[in-house]
Amino acid sequence: MPEIGDDVFYSTISELNAKLRAKEFSAVELTRAVTARLEKLGPRYNALALSLSDTAIKKAKEVDDDIKRDRWRSPLQGIPFGAKDLLSVKGQPTTWGAKPYAGQVFDHDATVLKKLDKAGAVLVGKLAMVELAGGGGYRYAAASLTGPGLNPWDRKRWSGGSSSGSGAAVAAGLVTYALGSETSGSIVTPAAFCGVTGLRPTYGLVSRYGAMALAWTMDKIGPMCRSAEDCGLVLQAISGGDSNDPGSAGKSFYYAPQFARKSAEIRVGFAPVDFAEWVEPATRPAFEKALAALRETGVQMVETKLPELPYAPVTGTIISAEGSAIFEPLIKSGKVDDLADKRQIAGLKAGLEIAAKDYLKAMRIRATVQQEMRKLFTDVDLLLAPARYGVAPKIEEPLDRRSPERPTPKNRGMNAIIQAGNLAGLPALTLPCGFAEDLPVGLQLVGRPFSENLLVAIGREFQGRSDWHRRRPGR
C-alpha cells in the first residue's frame, strides 16, 4: 500500500481526483487511510458520530472497478466525505446529536447522500452536531450527545455550531469535505471558527428530504470544504429539484467557472464600521489584510449597510415556533428533559406558547426583509461582512457572554447579515481570511438568490491571492 501522508489528507477535491486518475493510489487505499484517521482522531475533537468504514470500503471497491474501466462519473468519484448526523443513512443510527434519538434508524437515505453516491463519492462517517441543530436555543458548547465540538486549532475552543463535527473534521484533515446544514449560521459559524470554506446555498436549491427539520421555511444543506472551488463541485452534485421536499426550488446548479464575470465588474457592498468597530480588537489586523487582499482581486468596494429591521427577533420567533411545532411529540412526551442544555429544554417548551399572531407578524416582517434585501442588491452584486466578529470562544464559556468593556457601535453596519441572509434565503460563502490569537477568522460574501457561481468565482480569486485556506492546525 502506498504511503498516504498529511498532504493527501489536506488535498482539495481536484488534487485528489488527479491522484486517483494518475493511479498514485486506489480509491480503496485512500478510503482505508481516511477512515482509519477519522476513527482515530475524530473522537479527539468530538467530531465523529458514527464510522461507516465497512460501507465506505465497499463503495470504494465499486469506484476502483469503474476507474479500471475508465468510467469517470464526476470529480467527486472516490473522494471521501462526511455528513452531519441529521442526514439519514439507511439502516444506520441517525441521532440528531440528541440522547432521545440515540437509537433512531431510518429506512431510507437522504436525497443529498443518494446524489453523492451516484456521483461516486465515498461516505466515510456521520459527523457530530449540536443536539437538534440547536432547536430551542442553547447556552453551552456541550449541548451535544458527543460532547462539545473541539476546535482543531485549539481544543480548549469551540468548533462552532450546529455543524460542529463537519467544521472540525474538514479542518483536521479527517475528511476532504463535509455536508453541514444552516438555519441561522450553522455553516457560516463553524467554517469561520475552524478556518474552512463553507457554502450556504440559496433556500430550496438543495433537497432536505431525509434531513432533520428545524425550521421548514429556513433550513438549508450545504458543503464545507477546503476551497471555494470544492464548494462549487459539491454543490453541483447535491443541487436539484426534489418532489419529496415541499420547499424545493426545482432548480439545479452547474459549476461554470469559465463564464465568470470579470472581477472589475463586480460591486461589493460593505460597511467599514464592521471591520473598525464591530469586530473584536484582536481580529482587526487580520481583517484589514483580508480587505486588502479582496481589493486586489479588482472588485469595486461600495459602502453600504443593512436597513433598520428587527432581524434577530424575527429570526428567533420563526425558528422557535417552527422548531417547537416539529418537536412537539418530544416535548409532550417529557423526553425533551433528556437534552443536555437546560436553556434548550426551556426554549423548546416556550416555543409551543408562541401565539399564531406573533408568528404571522414575524412572517410579514420577513417579507419586508426580503423586499429590502432585493432593493439592496440593485446597487451591489455581493455583500461582504466578517463571518463572525471574533474568534472561537472557549468551550466552557456561555455562548451569550457579552464583553462589558466594549461600547456598542452606533452604526449597525452588517452585523445582522447572518439573520438577514437566512430570512431572505440568500446564498453565502465563508472564506478563511487570517488569524487572531492563533485562531482562524473568516469573511462571508452574500449574494442574490441562485448567485452561487458568482460567489465561488470571487472566492476563487480571493483564494488565488492568499493561502489562508491552505493553513493546517499545528503548522
Task: Read off the pLDDT of residues 274-286 as tens digits, 9 standing for 90 and up.
Answer: 999 999 999 999 9
Q: What is the 3-state secondary structure (H, E, C) of 263-287?
A: HHHCEEEECHHHHHHHCCHHHHHHH
Q: Give the architecture (CATH level 2) of 84-109+129-410+419-475.
A: Alpha-Beta Complex (3.90)
Full-model pTM? 0.97
- Which spans in 385-451 are helix H? 417-423
Catalytic residue (one of 11, 186, 207, 324): 186
Residue range 358-378: mean pLDDT, rounded = 98
Q: Render pLDDT for 313-349 as a digit per residue (tens, 0 to 9).
A: 999 999 999 999 999 999 999 999 999 999 999 999 9
Quickly state the pLDDT bin for 271 (edges 50, 70, 90): very high
Indicate the pairing of strand 197-200 with strand 267-270. Answer: unpaired
Catalytic residue (one of 19, 26, 74, 84): 84
Residue range 245-270: mean pLDDT, rounded = 96
Angle at the Cα of 279 from the Cα atoms of 392 and 200, rounded to 5 degrees: 65
State the pLDDT at residue 199: 98
- Residue 193: CB atoms within 10 A of its CB come to 30
Q: Is 289 exposed, middle or buried (0-12, 13-18, 19+ CB in 10 A)?
A: middle
Active site residue 162: yes
Catalytic residue (one of 162, 181, 320, 324): 162
Distances in Å between the alpha carbon of 3 and those of 6, 26, 172, 385, 425? 10, 12, 19, 41, 44
Quickly state the pLDDT bin for 404 (edges 50, 70, 90): low
Quickly state the pLDDT bin for 3 (edges 50, 70, 90): confident
Residue range 33-62: mean pLDDT, rounded = 98
Residue range 409-422: mean pLDDT, rounded = 94
State the pLDDT at residue 400: 86
Domain residue ranges of the chain, discontinuous segments joined by + = 84-109+129-410+419-475
Q: Render pLDDT for 75-127 as a digit per residue (tens, 0 to 9).
A: 999 999 999 999 999 999 999 999 999 999 999 999 999 999 999 999 999 99
- Which spans in 75-142 are helix H? 111-118
Q: Whole-angstrom Cα distance, residue 161 to residue 194?
A: 11
Quickly state the pLDDT bin for 401 (edges 50, 70, 90): confident
Nearest residue to 451 (alpha-carbon basis) of 195, 260, 227, 264:
260
Q: Whole-angstrom Cα distance, residue 22 to residue 381?
A: 40
Active site residue 320: no
What Rg, from alpha-carbon coordinates, does the chain have?
Answer: 21
Nearest residue to 42 (alpha-carbon basis) of 85, 12, 93, 98:
85
Question: What nine digits make up the cell of 17?
Answer: 481526483
Active site residue 164: no
